[in-house]
Chains A and B, each alone.
Chain A
Amino acid sequence: MSRIGVFVCHCGLNIAKTVRVSELAEFARTLPDVVVAEDYKFMCSTPGQELIQEDIKKHNLDRVIIAACSPLMHEKTFRKVVENAGLNQYLLTIVNVREQDSWVTDSEEVATEKAKALINGAVYRARLLQPLVSRFIDVNPDVMVVGGGIAGIQAALELADTGKKVYLVERNSTIGGHMAQFDKTFPTLDCSACILTPKMDAVLQNSNIELLTYCEVEEVKGFVGNFDIKIRQKARYVDHDKCNGCLACTEKCPGRSVSEWDEGLVRRKAIYIPFPQAVPQKPVIDRESCTFFKKGKCRVCEKVCEQAAIDFEQKDTFLDIKVGAIILATGYDLMDTKPLVQYGYGKYPGVYHALELERLFNSAGPTSGKVVMRDGKTEPQSIAILHCIGSRDKNNYEYCSRVCCMYSLKFAHLLKEKTHGDVYQLYIDIRAPGKGYEEFYNRLVEEDVKFIRGKAARVTDKSDNPDHAGKLIVEVEDTLTSQFVTIPVDMVVLSPAMKPRHDAKDMARLFNLSTDKYGFFMERHPKLAPLSTMTDGVFIAGACQSPKDIPDSVSQGTGAAAEALTIVVKDKMELEAATAVVNPAACCGCHNCVNVCPFGAPVFNYEKNVSEINEALCKGCGLCAATCPASAIITRHFTNDQVMAEMEGLMEF
C-alpha cells in the first residue's frame, strides 16, 4: 500500500486557464492510495516547494506526483525538493499538464479530462516505483591529449596551467603539427613559427605535461573518470635521455629518404629531426632508409655521438597510463590531388599543392624561403592559384574546407611579394567570414591579383598558341564575362580539400567514437556540443572534428580543456542510477545484450555464464531489456511493470 501525494500546479494561468485545477486535485483525492492532493499557484516557488515538503512529512508520503510543466523543465528541481524532505528522488513522478495539455488545446473539458487520465497513469506507475541510490566512483585527475598540433598544444597548456597532469601523445617525432609547416598565417601575416614555437617550448618546459612524442595510442580501456590507456613508444634507436640535441649524427648520415615534413620537395637523412625548431630537439632513426638497418654497415652516427646515445637494439616499448578524460586533437590530411587528372598534379612538375607552397615560402624550408620551381633555380613569373580542388565537389568532398580561400589569398600576397609575378586567383566564391578576413581580401584585390570567377577546368601543357610554348595552360570559364579563357602560367597551385586523417576511422574505433559520413569525428551536437562526443569523457578539438582555421582550433583546444576539466576537477563522479541489471537466474547466455549495447556495458561473465552490466557504463536506454529474449534484464525506473502500469492508468479513463 502506497501513500501518494498529488500536487497540482496552476503555473499562474498557464495551466489554470484551461485545466480546472481544483477539480483535478479533487479527482486525484478519489484515487486509491492517494492520501493528499493539493493545488497551488506556483509549485516551483519557495512556498510551493515547502508545501510539498511539509505534506511529505505530515502525511508520511512515500510517493509524490506533481502535475505541472514538462519534466524536462523541472524534474531536477523537484527531485531535490523531495530528497531534502527525506524521500528518495526516484519516488517522484512529474505529470506534464502544460506543454502537452493546457498549452495545446482551448477546451477546458478536453484539457481537464486528459489531465485526469495522465494523473491516473502516474498513480498506477508510482505504486510500483522503487527508491534508487546513486553510486559514486573515484575520478582520475589526469588527462590525455592525443595530437600535438596547435589544438592539442593549446588544450595541454590550459589543463597544465590549472595544475592537472597532462599526457601529450604525438605520433611524429616533434609536436607542432601542420601549423609548424606554414610560413605566414592569415590574416595577420604573423610568422607561424614565431607564434607557435613559444607554445611548443612552453609544453616542453611545463612540469605538468609529460610529452610523449613518437608515440601512438595502442589500446583504450575503461570509462569516463577511469580510462586505462596503453601507449606504444616507437623505437627511435636514439636514447633520448642521453641525447643532448647536438645533431652531429645528422651531419654525416648517408641514408636518404623523401622528407615528409617538406612534402616530398627534398630528401632528408635517415637520422633526422623534421625541422630545426623541432620539439623535442632529439633525432630519430628511420629504419627504412638507414644504411645500417638495410645493409648492416655504417653506424657513423654512433661513431660521432659523444653521448653514446645511439642504440640500434632499441625496441618498441609500452607505457600504461590512467587518466580521467581524453582529448583527441589529431588534425587533418590534405587530399591527394593526383587522381584529379585534369589538374596534372604529379604529371606536370609545375603543379603544386598548398602545403608544398608553404614549404617553399618557409625560410627554414627546402629553398630557404625562395619561390623557385622544382629545378631549384627557375623563378616563376606567373602563377595561378586554383580554389576548391576537391572541396564543394560531389565527386570528392561535398563540404567547403573553410580555410582555402584565406590561405589562397595569403599565397597571392606572398607570391606578389617574393616573385613580383602575375598572380591569378581562380575561385567560385570568396569565403572570408572571420575577424579581419574580408579586410584581408580587400587588401589582396588592391594588390592587383587577377581574380577570375570560375572553377578551373583543366591544366595542360599543350597549346596551339606559340606564345604559350613552355608554359602550363589553365583552362577556365570567366563566368562574369561568359568567356572561355586560357591562361599561360609558369606555376599552378592547387588548394586541395582538407580531409580526415587517413586512419581516422581506426582512431574512432579505438576510442569508441562515431565518425560522420566523411570520416571526421562526430560531435555530440553540431551546435550546442561541438567538442564532446557520445562517449563520455572523450572530447575532440580542432580539424579532426571538421576543417577549420587556427583561431578556431585554438578556441576548441581551450574549450575541450574546459570540458575535460568538468570531469577531472571532481574527486568523485555520480553514476546514472536508472541503469539496467541482469537477473542471473533468467539469463540464458545468448549474448544479445552484449552485442547490441552501444556502450559496451553488458559484459559476459564466462565463469558464471551470465551477462553482467557495468553500471558505470550503462546509460539506461533500455535497448538490452527490449532485446533480451529471456526478459532477464530489468531497466530500473522503467521496468516492464512500471511502463505497462502507466499505460493501464492512462487507458482507464
Chain B
Amino acid sequence: MSTAVTPYLEMAQAIAEAGGEAFRKCYQCGTCTGTCPWSPVTHFNIRKLMRLSQLGFDGIEDLMWGCSTCKFCVDRCPRGVEIIDLVRAVRGVYAGGGLLPPPLRAFVGSLTARGNPWSGDAPKRNDWAQDKYPLFAEGKEYLYWTCCTVCYDPRNVLVAKASAEILEKSGLSWGLPGTDAQCCGESVRKVGDLELFEKLKANNLGIINAKDAKKIITISPHCLATFRQEYGVDYEVIHFSELLAALIKSGKLTPKKDAGGVKVTYHDPCYLGRHSGVYDAPRDILKAIPGVELVEMDRVREQSMCCGGGGGGLWIERAKGERLSDLRIEEALSTGATVLATACPYCIAMLEDSVRTMNAEDKIKVKDVTELFLESLDG
C-alpha cells in the first residue's frame, strides 16, 4: 500500500474559484502560524491549511474550523496573502455535504429559518426595547442597527438597553430597524455559506434603501465591518463608540458620576481594531469617565489577542486549555484591573463565559464601554 500522495489540483482549483486564489501568493514562510493566537493552544495551523489548499491534499477538513478570522496573520503576512478569504473559500467548498460541525449546523439552521443565529423569534427582535425607543423612519438621521446578539442574548441585551438609552439622552434623531431586519450575515459568510449571506444581505439592503437610511450606527464591530466592506453601499456606517466619542468631544454628553478610582483595561475587538481601524474612540470614552484609571494590557491595538468568537467561533465549543478568552482574562487580571471593558457583543459573550468558568467573577467584570459610560452619565 503506497503512502505516496498526489496533488489533487481539481480541489485546489475549486478552492481558488471559491475565492481562495490568494494561496498562489503564499511562500510558506510560517509568519502566519507564528503570529496566530491559536498556535500555542490548539493544533490549528493556518500555514498548513494554506499548503494543503495549494496542492489539494487531504487534511483540509481537520484544520478549516480552527480560524476565528482575527486578521492578525493577514496584517503580518509578507506576501499580502488574503488568508481569511482562503479560509472562507475552503469552508465554502467543504461546508455543503454535511461537513459543518454540529454546533454550526444549528447556527446556519437558525439563520435560514429565523434570520438570526440565536433561534430567536423574528417578531420579538425589538422586545428588549419595551417600546421605549423609536423605530427608524424616513427623515430620521441615524439608523441604529442592533446586532442579533444584543437583541436576543440575555447578557448582551443589557448593552442594547444601555446604548439605546445613551442615544435618547444625546438628543439625536435616531431609530431602530423594524423586526424584518435580519442578521448582517458576517459570521455565516465566514463560515462559508455565501448563498445564505447573499439572502440576508439582500433583505437588509432592501430595508435600508426603502427607508432611505444614510447614516447607520452599529453596536457590533462585525456588522460594522460587513456593512463597510461587503455590502458595497455609499451610506456612512460608524461604530457606536465612534459616535459616542464624538458626542463627548463636542460636549453633547458629559459623564459626571465618579467611578471611584476603578482600574479598567480595554480589550480591542478584532473586528473593531484590525478589521476596521478603530482603536482610540473606545479609549477616549473610558478616559472621559471621571475616576477611571485606564491601564493597558501588553497585547493591545494592532496586537490585540482574539477572544475566539469570530469566524463562527462564538458557536463552537472549545475544550479548556484551548480557549483564547481564558488567556485574555488572565492577561487582563495581570494588569490589576477589576473591569475589562470592550466594545463588541461577541467579545463580551466569550470573555464573560471565561470569567465564569475560571471562577473569577469576584476578581474582574466584563463591561461594554456603553454600559460604563451610561453608569457615569446618570449622576
Find out whether A and B make contact in their complex, taking CB atoms under 8 A apart as touching.
yes
Which residue of chain A is the closest to B298 with respect to CB atoms?
A462
CA distance A486 to B33 in the complex (A): 12
Contacts of B298 in A (CB 8 A): 462
Name B30's contact: one of A394, A395, A453 (CB within 8 Å).
A453
Q: Tell me the complex Cα distance, A320–B346, Å.
A: 70
B379 CB to closest chain A CB, in angstroms? 39
- Is A484's CB under 8 angstroms from B28's CB? no
Interface residues of A in 452-476 (CB under 8 A from B): 453-458, 462, 475-476
Does residue B229 face the partner (Cβ distance < 8 Å to A)? no
* Residues on B with beta carbons closer than 8 Å to the beta carbon of A458: 34-35
Q: How many residues of A contact B (CB 8 A)?
A: 24
Cα A395 to Cα B35 with chains together (Å): 15
CB pair B76–A342 under 8 Å, yes or no, is yes
Question: Contacts A342-B303, A477-B47: A394 and B34 contacting too (C-beta < 8 A)?
Answer: no
Q: Nearest chain B CB to A395's CB is how many angstroms away?
A: 7
Complex interface bits, B61-92 against A, C-beta within 8 A gives 1, otherwise 0: 00000000000000111111000000000000
CB distance from B62 to the nearest CB of A (A): 12
With contacts A455-B29, A456-B34, A484-B34 taken as known, whether A477 is within 8 angstroms of B79 at the C-beta atoms is: no
Chain B contact residues, CB within 8 Å of chain A: 27-31, 33-35, 39-40, 45, 47-48, 75-80, 298, 303
Interface: A392 (CB within 8 A): yes
Closest to B48 in A: A482
The complex places the Cα of A572 from the Cα of B235 at a distance, in Å, of: 69
**A residues less than 8 Å from B80 (CB atoms):** 394-395
Smallest Cβ-Cβ distance to B27: which chain A residue: A428
Tell me how far the C-beta of B250 lies from the nearest C-beta in chain A, rounded to whole angstroms. Answer: 33
29 contacts between A and B (CB under 8 A): A342-B35, A342-B303, A388-B29, A392-B27, A392-B29, A394-B77, A395-B78, A428-B27, A453-B30, A454-B30, A454-B31, A454-B33, A455-B30, A455-B31, A455-B34, A455-B78, A457-B31, A457-B34, A457-B76, A458-B35, A462-B298, A475-B40, A476-B34, A477-B33, A477-B34, A477-B47, A479-B47, A484-B45, A486-B40
Determine if A394 and B39 form an interchain contact, defined as CB atoms under 8 angstroms apart. no
CA distance A455 to B35 in the complex (A): 10
Nearest B residue (CB) for A392: B78
Q: 8 tightest A-B contacts by CB?
A: A457-B34, A393-B78, A454-B30, A477-B33, A477-B30, A484-B39, A455-B29, A394-B80
Residues of A within 8 A of B48 (CB): 482
Q: By DSSP majority rule, is chain B's interface helix, strand, loop, or mixed?
A: loop
* B303 and A341 contact, CB distance less than 8 A: yes
17 more A-B residue pairs beyond the given contacts A342-B303, A395-B80, with a C-beta to C-beta distance below 8 A: A388-B29, A394-B79, A395-B76, A395-B78, A428-B30, A454-B29, A454-B31, A454-B33, A454-B34, A455-B30, A457-B30, A458-B35, A476-B30, A479-B29, A479-B30, A482-B47, A484-B45
A372 to B79, CA, bound (A): 36
Q: A61 to B29: give the CA distance in the assembly, Å.
A: 71
Tell me, in angstroms, the Cα distance from A484 to B66 when the chains sit together.
15
Chain B residues with CB under 8 Å of A457's CB are 30-31, 33-35, 76
CA distance A484 to B46 in the complex (A): 11
Contact of A482 with B45 in the complex, beta carbons under 8 Å: yes
Measured between C-beta atoms, what is the minimum distance from B330 to chain A in Å? 9
- Minimum CB distance partner of A396 in chain B: B78
> What is the distance, in angstroms, from A423's C-beta to the closest C-beta of chain B?
19
Complex alpha-carbon distance, A115 and B17, angstroms = 51
B29-A428 in contact (CB<8A): yes
Give every chain B residue within 8 A of A484 (Cβ-Cβ).
33-34, 39-40, 45
Q: How far is the CB of B104 from chain A (nearest CB, A)?
A: 25
Question: Could you say which residues of chain B place their CB within 8 Å of the CB of A454?
Answer: 29-31, 33-34
CB contact list, A406-462 vs B, under 8 A:
428, 453-458, 462
**Which residues in window 597-618 of A have CB below 8 A to B?**
none
Q: Which residues of B contact A396 (CB under 8 A)?
A: 78
The number of A-B residue pairs with CB atoms under 8 Å apart is 69
Minimum CB–CB distance for B79 against chain A, Å = 6
Write the chain A residue with the least CB distance to B39: A484
A457 to B34, CA, bound (A): 5
Residues of A within 8 A of B35 (CB): 342, 457-458
Within the complex, which residue of B28, B40, B75, B303 is in contact with A479, where a contact is CB–CB below 8 Å?
A: B28
For A457, A458, A482, which residue has the most chain B Cβ atoms within 10 angstroms? A457
- Nearest B residue to A485 via CB reads B34
> How many Å lie between the Cα of A342 and that of B33 in the bound state?
14
Judging by beta carbons under 8 Å apart, are A477 and B27 in contact?
A: no
Specify which chain B residues have a CB less than 8 angstroms from the CB of A394 in the assembled complex: 77-80
Give A393 to B77 CA distance when docked, in angstroms.
8
CB distance from A393 to the nearest CB of B (A): 4
In the assembled complex, which residues on chain B have CB atoms less than 8 Å from the CB atom of A479? 28-30, 33, 47
CB neighbours of A428 from chain B (8 A): 27, 29-30
In the bound complex, how far is the Cα of B51 from the Cα of A539, in angstroms? 45
Q: Which residues of B contact A476 (CB under 8 A)?
A: 30, 34
The answer for the CA separation of A394 and B31 in the assembled complex, in Å, is 13
Contacts of B39 in A (CB 8 A): 477, 484
Cα–Cα, bound, A476→B76 (Å): 13
**Chain A residues near B29 (CB-CB < 8 A):** 388, 392, 428, 454-455, 479
Q: B30, B33, B77 — which one has the most chain A CB atoms within 10 A of its CB?
A: B30
CB distance from A518 to the nearest CB of B (A): 15
What is the CA–CA distance of A479 and B39 in the complex, to the nearest angstrom?
12
- Whole-angstrom distance between the alpha carbons of A476 and B35 in the complex? 8
Q: Quick one: given A341-B303, A428-B27, A484-B40, are A475 and B34 in contact (CB under 8 Å)?
A: yes
B76: chain A residues at CB < 8 Å are 342, 395, 457
**Of A341, A453, A455, which is in contact with the most chain B CB atoms at under 10 Å from its CB?**
A455
Task: Report how far A479 CA is from B47 CA in the complex, Å.
Answer: 8
Min CB distance, A536 to chain B, in Å?
A: 39
Minimum C-beta distance from A638 to chain B (A): 45
- Complex: how many Å from CA A454 to CA B33? 9
Nearest B residue to A398, CB-CB: B78
CB distance from A412 to the nearest CB of B (A): 20
Contacting residues, chain A, for B79 (C-beta < 8 A): 394
* Docked complex Cα distance between A456 and B48 (Å): 16
Residues of chain B within 8 A (CB-CB) of A455 are: 29-31, 34, 78
Contacts of B34 in A (CB 8 A): 454-458, 475-477, 484
User: Measured between alpha carbons, how far is A516 from B69 in the docked complex, in Å?
Assistant: 36
A residues within 8 A CB of B78? 388, 392-396, 455
Q: Give the residues in chain B near A486, CB-CB below 8 Å.
A: 40
Q: Which residues of B contact A478 (CB under 8 A)?
A: 30
Residue of B nearest to A462 (CB): B298
**CB contact list, A271-322 vs B, under 8 A:** none
- Would you give the shortest CB distance from A458 to chain B, in whole angstroms? 7
Interface residues of A in 466-525 (CB under 8 A from B): 475-479, 482, 484, 486
Minimal beta-carbon separation of A453 from chain B (angstroms): 7
Chain B: minimal CB distance from A385 (Å): 16
Residue of A nearest to B42 (CB): A484
In the complex, the chain A residue whose C-beta lies closest to that of B301 is A341
Per the bound structure, the CA–CA distance linking A393 and B78 in Å amounts to 4
A residues in contact with B45, CB < 8 Å: 477, 482, 484
How far is the CB of A426 from the nearest CB of chain B, in Å? 9
Residue among B28, B39, B78, B79 with max Cβ neighbours from chain A (10 Å): B78
A388 and B34 CA atoms in complex are apart in Å by 15
Q: In the assembly, what is the distance between CA of A462 and CA of B45, in Å?
A: 22
Q: How far is the CA of A412 from the CA of B39 in the complex (A)?
A: 28
Cα A134 to Cα B48 in complex, Å, equals: 67
